[in-house]
């Protein structure tokens, strides 16, 4: 699976924690976009798509959520519950986000501007795009 969990440095002292993220230093791409989601409806599942050309790092900066990843051959469930931990995902991975805690804030750093044409929102198309035959 083309993904990595990255622990970013925490600059903690008696006042609390601070995490700094610098483009091309801590993050292996140019940061073109930042978005975040919060107030997620209970039991909601989001995502249900893959990207053709996008690198992203997902942080649950508050609360927790899970991410289902699927590269067409194998799946993984990742728990994000630490504000300093980032889930780096590259192209061609189907993702779904779920089990959001009520207070969850999921923040994403992305390597490109928003482009709907980069999304593959149909699972069978995703398998076809990857050249995987359905059994």
Q: By the criterion CB under 6 A, which residues form the site for ligand T46?
A: 33, 35, 37, 46-47, 56, 58, 95, 97, 108, 114
To ligand T46, the closest distance from the beta carbon of 130 in angstroms equals 17
Of the residues 49, 51, 62, 68, only one is catalytic, namely 49
To ligand T46, the closest distance from the beta carbon of 89 in angstroms equals 7
To ligand T46, the closest distance from the beta carbon of 81 in angstroms equals 16
> Is 49 annotated in the active site?
yes
**How crowded is residue 65: how many other Cβ atoms within 10 Å of its Cβ?**
21
Which residue, among 12, 40, 20, 44, has the nearest Cα to 109 in the 3D structure? Answer: 20
* Nearer residue to ligand T46 within complex by CB, 35 or 76: 35
Q: Which residues are within 8 A (CB) of 51 and not within 5 positions of it... i.e. 6 or more apart?
A: 91, 92, 93, 118, 119, 120
Give the pair of three-digit tokens for residue 90: 């590259």
* Nearer residue to ligand T46 within complex by CB, 90 or 95: 95
Alpha-carbon distance 22 to 59, whole Å? 15
* Nearer residue to ligand T46 within complex by CB, 17 or 75: 75
Q: The tokens 């978005």 sit on which residue?
A: 35
Q: Could you list the active site residues?
A: 49
């Amino acid at each position: 699976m083309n993904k990595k969990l990255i622990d970013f440095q925490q600059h903690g002292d008696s006042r609390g924690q601070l995490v700094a993220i610098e483009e091309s230093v801590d993050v292996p791409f140019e940061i073109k976009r930042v978005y975040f989601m919060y107030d997620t409806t209970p039991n909601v599942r989001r995502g249900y798509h893959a990207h053709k050309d996008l690198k992203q790092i997902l942080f649950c900066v508050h609360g927790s959520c899970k991410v289902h990843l699927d590269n067409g051959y194998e799946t993984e469930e990742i728990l994000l519950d630490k504000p300093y931990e980032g889930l780096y995902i590259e192209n061609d991975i189907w993702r779904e986000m779920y089990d959001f805690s009520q207070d969850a804030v999921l923040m994403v750093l992305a390597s490109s501007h928003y482009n709907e044409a980069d999304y593959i929102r149909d699972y069978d198309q995703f398998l076809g795009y990857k050249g995987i035959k359905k059994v």
